[in-house]
Amino acid sequence: MFGQVQASGFTHFQQSGTGAIRKYYNYVRVTPMVQPLDVLGEAWGLRDEVAEAGYYAATLDTGVRCELTVGAKVAVHRYTFPAHRSARVVIDLSCGGLGIEHGRTVPLRAQVENMGRGRVQGTVVMEGVPLSVHVDVDAPGWRQMLWYDRRLIEGGTRLDFDSIRHTNLRPFGMLFMGPVSAGQTVEVRLGFSLRGCEQARENLEAECGVGRESFDVVRARTRVRWGDHLDRVRVEGGTKSRRTVFTTALYHSLIKPCVADDESPFWPTPGPYAFDVCTMWDIYKTQLPLLSAIVPDKAAGLLESLIRVCEEEGNFPIGYRMARGADRFFRQGSALAHTALADAHALGWTQFDWNWALVHMADDLRRMYGEDFFEHGVVHPISHTLDLAYAHHCTAKVARALNDRRLADDLENRSRLWPNAFDLATGLLRDSEFYEGGKWNYSFRLLHDMAARIALAGGDEAFIDKLDRFFGYGAEPVKQPGLRPRLAEMAAGYALNRFEGLNNEPDMEVPWAYHYAGRPDRTAEVVHSALTWQFGTGPGGLPGNDDSGGLSSWYVWASLGLFPIAGQSMFLVNAPAFERAVLKAGGNEFVIETSGHRETPISVDGIEREPAAQYVQSATLNGVPLHATHLSAADVHRGGVLHLRLGPEPSGWGRGHRPPSLSDPPATSREKS
């Protein structure tokens, strides 16, 4: 945290590093107070902050020490009060969104019930989703009351709101109040559900027990859960700052999406329900492959849920929040879930019916922009042409594996329409609208036929020249804006037609495009520079929005010296940032070890100039020479040892063994020796 941080209370459900996604949750605000209810909403300063996975603590300027932890579908608060004759814990069910103009999320309907003996419950319908909460407050002798419009309702047992609008919204909720001695603690336990208050109560009791203090128990259990997840990627070497950034990135990679078993508010059957699949246009490239590797059960639950969403709502979502409607954000991308499904099928996952999945994958290709692509072979925004061609390729692979050759052939033929997106005179994408970028940012996407893509650009040298220009090789240094760049500075940056530098992610995979042109040394230089300068431990430690873990997952993969090619069940190999790493992929240990590794600091270590990059000189996989610059996902998921010999100068490693492309002759589509 930095600057003057203030809080008006502590809310539940948040996005993770997204930008202008319009809705940010912040539901069910809990506020410990020693002031009258009239001042609810006032912000107090925070000090003495402590944060770790699954735990947060801070002291308000009012003197209340606040601790929060979470468990499966529950949150537990513990407040330590100063002496006061009338302390309060106020729960605001009307809260939602951001405290800025047009930033509020208003409940559509709501009901609140005072059950007595420290228990209250209620449901608010937010964006078509019924969010229920059951609350236990451990404060013997305290009074508990409902409140509306900052006024207590003496003796009231229930509030019902049949319809609420922005213009008639008044805050409402429950309040607990009583005397406290200095150092006295009050524990607040909240169980949540999207299937009613009774299910919320059952969720609370399953995690916290019945009517007993549970903060320390839940915190310890969550600490163990997080420890297990973070232990699935271990690194050795690196400066303290680099290790801190890496672990932080791994943590943020695992926060989203949310997978809540048996909680769908839209269909009654049991099974996983996933939401906060936000910025699918980012996370499909990096985060979903990471989840598939280190938390495959969660990844499988996510994919099963996406199939069910498609079945119930008509299409695979591009962004799916805790809200009704899977058709939002369709302008950002098309048919992106197909990449993760193709990878899962290639890995042999059997958690769901693949014939049923294929039905939805094929049908989804004709929805939204897909119909125009089907009829004309090209669609604007032009990046959707690339999305849809790629999704056809991914779906064709699943169809062929399921022996539906007719479907596979038809899909594969349509997947070859990607050149329609390009201007043959420039080797770049045609003029069009682009989401948070320009045609240069989208022109070097890693397609399923990179050999043909490079040929379209004029061959290896022409393609490399374009990439060099994109990454600023030979260009004058660019003055970087500060932490809060103005619009004019941002516009000037876009006008350069350069790499986003990870302040956004439409081109975050492009450093690895050099692999396909036989120049993995260039990949090493660009990735090394980004890892050195763009990430740190303080203000500005992220170059841009994390976008639900998409950016953090990029950092994890780049640091390991691997990069997933989503939809092709493949990893590209590069010089890692650590001397040694162990990735627990698919339950097996994949070890990345090096010789000749040189420790290099990062920007927050106080350097003035960039340390020299390191380059792969040679490689072995399980003791067998690896001449190619890629591995199959199966190579990684089955476990083994990748040994990389590093050196200070570029080598000939990998130059003649390109990653596979659709147009490769069958005999040369994969070579390791």
Q: Could you say which architecture CATH assigns to the domain 231-668?
A: 2-Layer Sandwich (3.30)
Three-point CA angle 281, 283, 288, nearest 5°: 130
- The CATH classification number of 6-227 equals 2.70.98.10
CB atoms within 10 A of CB 479: 7
pLDDT value of residue 196: 98
Q: What predicted TM-score, i.e. pTM, was given to this entire model?
A: 0.95
pLDDT value of residue 103: 83
pLDDT value of residue 22: 67
pLDDT value of residue 203: 97
State pLDDT tens for residues 234-249. Answer: 999 999 999 999 999 9
Indicate the burial class of 30 (C-beta count within 10 angstroms; 0-12, 13-18, 19 or more). Answer: buried
| CA dist., res. 396 & res. 390, Å (int) | 10
| CA dist., res. 68 & res. 172, Å (int) | 23
Indicate the burial class of 194 (C-beta count within 10 angstroms; 0-12, 13-18, 19 or more). Answer: buried
pLDDT value of residue 668: 47
pLDDT value of residue 129: 95
Closest CA relative to residue 288, chosen from 548, 579, 576, 8: 548
State pLDDT tens for residues 596-619. Answer: 999 999 999 999 899 999 999 999
CA distances from 449 to 56, 463, 600, 658 (A): 47, 14, 35, 12
pLDDT value of residue 601: 94
Three-point CA angle 363, 368, 373, nearest 5°: 80
**Phi, psi (degrees; rounded to nearest 5) at 359:** -55, -50
Domain boundaries, the chain: 6-227, 231-668
pLDDT value of residue 667: 57
Per-residue burial over 231-248, b if 16 or more Cβ lie within 10 Å, else e, is: ebbbbebbeebbebbbbb
pLDDT value of residue 492: 79
- The residue behind tokens 């990893």 is 571
Low-confidence ranges of the chain (pLDDT < 70): 1-3, 20-22, 326-327, 480-485, 667-673
pLDDT value of residue 42: 93
CA distances from 462 to 3, 31, 447, 469, 476 (A): 48, 61, 18, 11, 21
Q: Which two tokens stand for residue 39?
A: 């001042």
